[in-house]
Amino acid sequence: MHTYERARLMQTMNDERAVRVGTAVKCGACIAFLALLAAIGAAGGDVTPKHSAIVERAHTPNPVRAEAHRKAVFDERRARVEGAPHSLAFAPSQDGSIPYAAP
């Protein structure tokens, strides 16, 4: 084996060791970071009563407002349907097929 080839082989082997050590350090850092995240997540568990009351109030529907909104939407749709020209209505033709009319 020539001296140059031997030196190159030794350099490659040394680089492999550095890569292994670097990979082990990176894995250790990631595991430490995940452990830190788990510790932070476990520490902040319960929701305060003030926050839960706000969330509960936000998700409770107001029946009076909901009914008024449904009525307004229904009236708007009814006015739109009653005001629509009859030429756009879908009616079967002589051969029984239904033509397509774009709105």
Taking the C-alpha atoms of residue 21 and residue 28, their distance in angstroms, rounded to an integer, is: 11
Give the model's pLDDT for residue 60: 62
Whether residue 56 is predicted with pLDDT greater than 80 in this model: the reply is no
Q: pLDDT at residue 38 above 80?
A: yes
More confident residue, 49 or 13: 13
Per-residue tokens: 56? 């509960």
* Residue 53 binned pLDDT confidence (cut-offs 50, 70, 90): low
Per-residue pLDDT of 71-102, as tens digits, reads 999 999 988 888 766 554 555 566 656 555 55
H or E element: which one contains 95? none
Question: How far is residue 20's CA from residue 97's CA, in Å, rounded to a whole number?
Answer: 74
Domains of the chain by residue range: 1-45, 46-82
Q: What is the mean pLDDT of the chain?
A: 76
pLDDT score of 45:
59
For every residue of 4-64, DSSP letters joined together read HHHHHHHHHHHHHHHHHHHHHHHHHHHHHHHHHHHHHHHHS-SPPHHHHHHHHHHHS--HH
Q: CA triplet 24, 25, 26: central angle to 5 degrees?
A: 90
